[in-house]
Homo-oligomer: A and B are copies of this chain.
Amino acid sequence: MQDLLTIGQLSARSGVATSALRYYERMGLLRADRTGGNQRRYARGELRRVAFIRISQQVGISLEEIREALESLPAARTPTPEDWTQLSKLWRNRLDEKITLLTRLRDDLDGCIGCGCLSLRRCILSNPGDQVAAEGPGARLAVPR
């Protein structure tokens, strides 16, 4: 049982195309050792990184943001507990935000069955009050961006 994977093996195990894996490496998300003949050899731990990357992507996080998060992870040397606390805190906030957004969207859709309209106003839209009265009455999007 070798503990280094070829790019083909990593691809097979992760379900991610070799071209994408090379791309991730160029973008600084993945690391690989090289053989004498210049072929990539991945440590097993890289599989976890790939998992992290794909899952994060699936919930709408950009490669750049993922890269930033992964930057504070071990790259041969062991990270300090402080590094970890830092990363986890940061990432947790982003994830919590998304989870909240999704849960509200889902619950709102559920609450909408039978009402005949997409009643998102209750939780997704909010009228922050009189400071927007100049633009006239009505709800405004309470979603960033």
**Which residues of A are in contact with B by a Cβ distance under 8 Å?**
1, 9, 12-15, 44-45, 47-52, 54-61, 73-74, 78-79, 81, 84-85, 87-88, 91-92, 95-96, 98-99, 101-103, 105-106, 109-110, 112-121, 124-125, 135-141, 143, 145
Contacts and interface: CB of A to CB of B under 8 A. Distances in A.
Contacts of A58: 60, 98, 101, 143, 145
Given A118-B52, A143-B15, A125 B88 contact: no
Contacts of A74: 116-117
Contacts of A141: 13-15, 47, 50-51, 54
A138 B44 contact: yes
How many copies are assembled?
2
Nearest to A92: B106
A132 B124 CA distance: 44
Contacts of A143: 15, 51, 54-55, 58
Contacts of A61: 60
A124 B58 CA distance: 13
Given A51-B141, A99-B102, 8 more contacts: A1-B137, A51-B124, A58-B143, A74-B116, A81-B113, A88-B112, A91-B109, A95-B102
Contacts of A135: 9, 12-13
A141 B10 CA distance: 10
Contacts of A117: 45, 48, 74
